[in-house]
Amino acid sequence: MTITLPPVPPALRGKIVLPDDHRYRLLRSTYTVTARPAAVLLPENTEQVVAALAYARERGLPISVRSGGHGLSGRSSNNGGVVIDVSGMNRVELIDRKERLVRVPAGARWAQVAQALAPHGLAISSGDHGNVGAGGLATGGGIGWLVRQYGLTIDHIRAAEVVLADGGVVRADAENEPELLWAVRGAGSGAGIVTAFEIEALALRKVGYAQIVVELDRDGRALRRWAEHIAAAPRELTVAGMLMPHGRSTVGAFTAVVAGANERRLREAVEPLLKLGSGVLDQSAQLAPYSALVSPAHLHANVGQQPVTTTNGLLTAMTGDDAAAIMDVAAGPHRPLVQLRFLGGAANDLPADATAYAHRRHEVMVIGSTFPPQGAAELDASWRPLADRFDGAYIGFESRPDEAAFNRIYPGETGDRVRRAWRRYDPDGVFQALWRSA
Ligand SMILES: Cc1cc2nc3c(=O)[nH]c(=O)nc-3n(C[C@H](O)[C@H](O)[C@H](O)COP(=O)(O)OP(=O)(O)OC[C@H]3O[C@@H](n4cnc5c(N)ncnc54)[C@H](O)[C@@H]3O)c2cc1C
């Protein structure tokens, strides 16, 4: 089928990339999916986002919204539709140093945010990768290197500018459209196109950063010790890790980040961790600026280079049986990549109804991924013994945002409220197509 695209409106002149444009090759796809949209629109300000949305809606074409292009579902591109790519809107501004208030345009990548804030002694905890965009991460959650110290990225969003499905532009904050702000903080993908966030940063220059590789016993006892230790540790310690089967044993590669550390505090935080495995295989520790963790070296074009199927689940606490089941999955026949994010601390400071991310009693997130030639079937088969153990899930690490995933990510009352908010701000369901097309 040939799609004929009509004339370009003046506001979008030079901002529409069609398949015969030399820029198309680097814009058509996302990090995880290779796609062939009819057009990629590159608005550089809010007015152009409004024009881009009108252009797509008038033609009845499917719409993808893209900021950094790292969404695991790959739905920030499509085949035959329009991509509204806001990555050109990326100039980070310090609004108020005393209040540590920062304007983060949705198209900024977290490496750019960290670089812009470092000279001011400020940081925003985002995720572990500098190429991820503000728009996708800060409308979903933001579980980053400082999550136990700072909480999620969304916990510090004070205001958002949103282009709604009808083309209206709204500033949502505590006084004006608070329900829209609530939805943006965790369920923003179905509410509209966020053009910018106002986020309260953390005063922070250096962090302590340790990488520890340990052997873990197959029955999960060592893994449980890690979880128990971290749950009781001061919130300045955040740990993430991955499990890698290694012969008949399993290796845990953990990264520990200590907020605002000096050498003594880094040593005090890391030394107990070395005793928690069945044996230390490697270790290193150093002080570094926070911006080194979400480095500009991560920045790259997204050309579908990392096909992957990912899912995740949240545990309120890791029992011995949970730990044993996680170890079994990591070492099981399909050997999915199993990653762990230890939560708690500031991630659980807010009440469950404060944002659309409701999982405020949870201590551990378990993420599973399969890579080609393995796919969804192998991931589901591996994940089955774990699935019933979870109580909730996180949108950021879900490749298949279908109804079942919605119910895990936005359970009960939260889900009802998200649906109401989406209906109110997007009655035609323009942006919720993301969930339906699964
Ligand atoms: C390598 C990698 C590492 C990651 N690490 C972390 C991590 O440490 N912590 C964490 O929390 N998450 C992490 N994630 C998940 C990441 O937060 C989500 O995939 C996020 O959606 C990516 O944002 P993006 O802007 O780059 O994605 P995009 O692909 O641009 O967008 C993804 C989806 O978000 C929505 N969206 C995008 N922009 C907007 C906007 N401006 N307004 C409204 N909706 C929008 C759209 O529905 C879109 O389909 C990681 C992902 C990858 C691939």
Alpha carbon 90 to chain centroid, angstroms: 18
In testing the pocket of ligand 1, which one of 44, 103, 137 has its CB within 8 Å of the most ligand atoms?
137
**Cβ–Cβ < 8 Å for 242, 368:** no
Q: End-to-end distance of the chain based on CA atoms, in angstroms?
A: 22
The number of CA neighbours under 13 Å toward the Cβ of 80 is: 6
Where b means 16+ CB within 10 Å and e means fewer, 79-109 reads eebbbbbbbebbebebeeeeebbbbbbbbbb
Give the pLDDT of residue 8.
77
**What lines the ligand 1 site, CB under 6 Å?**
30-31, 65-72, 75-76, 86, 106, 127-129, 132-133, 135-137, 139-144, 188-189, 193-194, 396-397, 434
Q: Best of 66, 77, 195, 305 to mutate for ligand 1, by most ligand atoms within 8 A of CB?
A: 66
Task: Report residues of the chain scoring pLDDT below 50.
Answer: 438
Atom of ligand 1 nearest to the CA of 73: 49
Which residue's CA is the nearest one to ligand 1's atom 49?
76
Q: Which atom of ligand 1 is nearest to the CA of 67?
A: 30
Q: How many A from CA of 124 to the centre of ligand 1?
A: 16
Q: Which one of 46, 49, 64, 70 would you pick to mutate in the ligand 1 pocket, going by the greatest count of ligand atoms within 8 A of its CB?
A: 70
- Token pair listed for 419: 């649906």
CA dist list (Å): 229 to 9, 109, 235, 237, 273: 59, 33, 12, 11, 8
Ligand 1 pocket mutation pick from 67, 78, 309 by most atoms within 8 angstroms of CB: 67
Atom of ligand 1 nearest to the CA of 132: 26
Statement: the pTM of the whole predicted model exceeds 0.85: yes
Calpha distance 202→431 (Å, rounded)? 32
Ligand 1 atom showing the smallest separation from residue 85 Cα: 30
CA of 137 to the centre of ligand 1 (A): 4
Q: How far is the CA of 142 from the centre of ligand 1 (A)?
A: 9
C-alpha to C-alpha distance for 132 and 214, rounded to whole angstroms: 29
Report which protein residue has its CA nearest ligand 1's atom 7. 127
- Closest ligand 1 atom to Cα of 74: 29
CA of 69 to the centre of ligand 1 (A): 7
Region of residue 335 (left: phi > 0; alpha: psi -120 to 50; beta: else):
left
- Taking the centre of ligand 1 as the mean of its atom positions, its distance from the CA of residue 77, in whole angstroms, is 12
Q: How far is the CA of 85 from the centre of ligand 1 (A)?
A: 13
Q: To test the ligand 1 pocket, which listed residue (49, 132, 154) has its Cβ within 8 A of the most ligand atoms?
A: 132
d(CA 144, CA 129): 9
Residues contacting 411, CB < 8 A, separation 6+:
358, 392
In the reported structure, the alpha carbon of residue 353 is separated from the centroid of ligand 1 by a whole-number distance in angstroms of 22
**What pLDDT does 438 receive?**
42
What is the reported pLDDT for 301? 94
Give the residue ranges of DSSP H helices in 260-308. Answer: 263-274
Model pLDDT, residue 3: 59
Please state the atom number of ligand 1 nearest to the C-alpha of residue 142. Answer: 11
pLDDT at 287: 97
Q: Whose CA is nearest to atom 52 of ligand 1?
A: 70
